[in-house]
Amino acid sequence: MEYRTEKDSMGEMKVPADRYWGAQTQRSLENFRIGDEVMPREITKAFGILKKASAMANHALGKLSDEKKDFIIRACDEVIAGQLNEHFPLVVWQTGSGTQSNMNANEVIAARGNEMAGRQLLHPNDDINMSQSSNDTFPTAMHIAAVLGIEDQLIPVLDVFAATLSRLEKENDDVVKSARTHLQDATPIKFSQEISGWRSMVEKAKTMLMDSLPGLKELALGGTAVGTGLNAPAGFDQIAADQVGELTGKAFVTAENKFHALTARDELVFAHGALKALAANMMKIANDIRWLASGPRCGLGEILIPENEPGSSIMPGKVNPTQAEAMTMVAVQVMANDVAVGMAASQGNFELNVFMPVTIYNFLQSVRLLADGIQSFNDNCAAGIKANRGKMKHNLHNSLMLVTALNPYIGYDNAAKTVKKAYEENISLKDACVSLGFLTAERFDAVFNPEAMV
């Protein structure tokens, strides 16, 4: 491999000749050989956006020449498009402020811009990092990436899944089945009513996520090192936030209190709480579906789900609810991520939180896993759910909890006696009720209608 020599404030470093990064990125590569979790590409893109917005703001304020602004923008556009991803090699496990990833962006954009210009026009610190600090750019990148992930990746998938459930509701509005509480038989319910609970879970989770977005759309940019805005010209924060909004199509604003914006990660905790709520709901929905589909002969067997692949290497013909299993594993990971996000956010000391890379790594993983997991679950499982109407009817009419309909006519205590007799003697509720003398056969038939109990 060929190398070139780069310099920073600490001296010279050998850097691969075919890479745009400089000495500070190389130092990080060599000093933090920890794990293989590379800084999320969503953060790389967010840095491209904020560096472009900063260049535009600095130019508008007369701090940056036309020529420098133009080459910075051209290089940033390549970062945003993902064309320079191989030049962003740093791992998550680095400085807690994300300084090295900020410098990685500064060095790559400067080097690529200089290559385009054909001369040494741009300096990583003086030009690309102008009016900024790692302490305000990294939290800004976190918020940009979080908003784009929620709005552009996750919310559209939730809308698709909710639409699938709404369709299933309409298709199954005439199906009555036994409900279950405490994993025990309960009074009847329409299958559509059961599905409506799932749909409402998805819609409620979406509402919670939407409620978290205003806080995430507040940007720390302009606070610089400690929130005072040192070395940032007046108005830079507002103009830069407006430019980020223009570039993304999102309503980003400058954070009113930059001291809060640098040291607190509460907006991400709040938003990830909504992600955890969604994960909890998806755990419940996926479990309901796989249990309802259990069988085919020795389980509940009340619904049929798509058969996607063989389920066993030893049992021929076995098919498993694999999409539900994948979805529940995603839910577990998101719940675990929530612990990391919350603990990391609690570690803001004085003017800066230094657990930012691990916070955003877990946050973006949760968004990505939920978006991908729910899409897969929708397409490969939920969309193909069919009610096993015969099994539902059989289970419904064999449920002892239908006796609840008799309470107004024979009283709770007599209804309990009826259930016990029916269960112990393995006879029908009607036979038990009539033999105990609580109702005549004719009266029982007149008041007992399971399908009307929903």
Q: What pLDDT, in 10s, does the model give residues 353-377?
A: 999 999 999 999 999 999 999 999 9
Q: CATH number, domain at 159? A: 1.20.200.10
Amino acid 162: pLDDT: 98
Residue 230 lies in a domain: no
Residue 249 lies in a domain: no
Helix axes 266-292, 134-148, angle to 10 degrees: 30
Per-residue pLDDT averaged across 333-341, rounded?
98
Closest C-alpha among 79, 80, 77, 56 to residue 68: 56
Per-residue pLDDT averaged across 81-96, rounded?
98
Where in the sequence numbering do the catalytic residues fall?
A: 182, 312
Q: Tell me, yes or no, whether 78 and 55 share the same domain.
A: yes
Confidence at 27, pLDDT banded by 50, 70, 90? very high
Q: Tell me, yes or no, whether 166 and 193 share the same domain.
A: yes
Q: Is 21 helix (H, G, I), strand (E, B) or coil?
A: coil
Per-residue pLDDT averaged across 347-353, rounded?
96
Is the preceding omega at residue 214 within 30 degrees of 0, hence cis?
no
Q: CATH number, domain at 421? A: 1.10.40.30
Q: What is the pTM of this model?
A: 0.96
Total number of domains in the chain: 3
User: How many whole angstroms separate alpha carbon 44 and alpha carbon 141?
Assistant: 8
Amino acid 279: pLDDT: 99
Last residue of a domain, one of 96, 130, 164: 130
Q: Tell me, yes or no, whether 300 and 178 share the same domain.
A: yes
Confidence at 276, pLDDT banded by 50, 70, 90? very high
Q: Tell me, yes or no, whether 74 and 95 share the same domain.
A: yes
Amino acid 253: pLDDT: 98
Q: Tell me, yes or no, whether 32 and 162 share the same domain.
A: no
Amino acid 340: pLDDT: 98
Amino acid 425: pLDDT: 97
Per-residue pLDDT averaged across 126-145, rounded?
98
Q: What pLDDT, in 10s, does the model give residues 397-449?
A: 999 999 999 999 999 999 999 999 999 999 999 999 999 999 999 999 999 99
DSSP string, 132-184: --HHHHHHHHHHHHHHHIIIIIIHHHHHHHHHHHHHHHHHTTT-EEEEEETTE
Q: What residues have CB less than 8 Å from 334, skipping those under 6 apart?
A: 275, 276, 278, 279, 366, 369, 370
User: How many whole angstroms separate alpha carbon 310 and alpha carbon 125?
Assistant: 57
Q: Tell me, yes or no, whether 208 and 357 share the same domain.
A: yes
Q: What pLDDT, in 10s, does the model give residues 287-301?
A: 999 999 999 999 999
Segments forming the whole domain that contains residue 113: 3-130
Residue 316 lies in a domain: yes
Q: Tell me, yes or no, whether 188 and 302 share the same domain.
A: yes
Closest C-alpha among 157, 88, 142 to residue 368: 157
DSSP string, 371-418: HHHHHHHHHHTGGG-EE-HHHHHHHHHT-GGGGGGGHHHH-HHHHHHH
Confidence at 56, pLDDT banded by 50, 70, 90? very high
Q: Tell me, yes or no, whether 367 and 295 share the same domain.
A: yes
Closest C-alpha among 225, 256, 222, 213 to residue 240: 222
How many Å from the N-terminal Cα to the C-terminal Cα in the chain?
A: 73
Q: Tell me, yes or no, whether 403 and 382 share the same domain.
A: no
Q: CATH number, domain at 88? A: 1.10.275.10
Amino acid 89: pLDDT: 98
Residue 232 lies in a domain: no
Q: Tell me, yes or no, whether 197 and 304 share the same domain.
A: yes
Dihedral sign for Cα atoms in the order 433, 436, 440, 443? negative
Q: Tell me, yes or no, whether 319 and 430 share the same domain.
A: no
Residue 10 lies in a domain: yes
